[in-house]
């Protein structure tokens, strides 16, 4: 067991701009103009897909040598479906992603079968992928009313 | 039905640095030094929590008026547990988050009961929260071997 507690803080700014901060690293989140924002950053759903692709990439880097894969280039294209009626309360559909797909682009001289096993290993060991794919315990938020 | 396709692209750089790009917006992801990185950005698990807090914040901004909440300040502290043995393949434990908690800090003059109903509405309509809390269909990644 090597249980780690991961933390983040997000602060709502003007309109729908949000600043996230973790260990001094900041990310600006916003919505495009047609969704009521000023388009100065990714929106949260896009950032979630980015976290997934980044996670798959880091797992790939970490395990490439073990699988004897020369990783010359590695990039991921991600996409998923989300019904905005859920967020807007227009229907009982779930507000989140119904499905998410990844395409791994790998520049390598390794044979296909090795790359296939490598891919399966990445998916089975990716923390963000597992978090999205399977249910996670989430207690209802605690609220602190500030003076 | 207002199903939208959300997209992202991530490109592995040197070591475990990843650049995510969506509609021209870029985010740099890295790991801290004790996890083999150069600490030039959040790691993917932290970015996932940031996406969640940002989503909760944007839902809060969107619905505050409807709930008659004067939202002077709104920030979220997030934390979750992750067993790194899962990612490292040292045990059969899941690689992802086992649990995630949020604390909403709200500066408002609204009465407690209204704030409570507001909180429940935010949680029920947050796309990223729903995506993490409940299972999502994820096909195994397609692999393209590049020349």
Q: What is the ipTM of this complex?
A: 0.98
Q: What is the DSSP string of A68-96?
A: T---SEEEEEEEEEEEHHHHHTSSSS-SS
- Residues of chain A contacting B36 with CB distance shorter than 8 Å: 62
Q: What mean pLDDT is predicted for residues B36-57?
A: 98
Closest by Cα among A35, A32, A28 to A13: A28
Which residues are bridge partners to A25 per DSSP? A22
Q: How does pLDDT run across B65-120, given as a tens digit for each residue?
A: 999 999 999 999 999 999 999 999 999 999 999 999 999 999 999 999 999 999 99
A 10 A CB-CB count for B43 gives 26
Closest by Cα among B2, B62, B51, B60 to B22: B51
Contact status of A117 with chain B (Cβ, < 8 Å): no
Contact status of B71 with chain A (Cβ, < 8 Å): yes
| pLDDT per residue of chain A (147 residues) written in tens, 0 to 9 | 799 999 999 999 999 999 999 999 999 999 999 999 999 999 999 999 999 999 999 999 999 999 999 999 999 999 999 999 999 999 999 999 999 999 999 999 999 999 999 999 999 999 999 999 999 999 999 999 998
Contact B138 A133 (CB under 8 A): yes
Contact status of B117 with chain A (Cβ, < 8 Å): no
Q: What is the pTM of this model?
A: 0.98
How many Cβ pairs closer than 8 A exist between chain A and B? 422
């Amino acid at each position: 067991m090597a249980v780690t507690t991961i933390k983040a803080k997000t602060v709502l700014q003007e309109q729908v701009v949000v600043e996230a901060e973790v260990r001094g690293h900041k990310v600006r989140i916003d919505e495009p103009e047609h969704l009521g924002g000023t388009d100065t950053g990714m929106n949260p759903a896009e950032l979630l897909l980015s976290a997934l692709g980044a996670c798959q990439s880091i797992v790939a880097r970490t395990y490439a040598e073990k699988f004897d894969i020369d990783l010359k280039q590695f990039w991921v294209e991600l996409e998923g479906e989300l019904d905005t009626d859920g967020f807007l309360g227009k229907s009982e559909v779930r507000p989140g992603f119904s499905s998410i797909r990844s395409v791994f682009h790998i520049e390598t001289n390794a044979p296909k079968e090795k790359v296939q096993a490598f891919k399966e290993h990445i998916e089975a060991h990716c923390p963000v992928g597992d978090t999205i794919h399977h249910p996670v315990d989430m207690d209802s938020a605690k609220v602190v009313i500030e003076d």
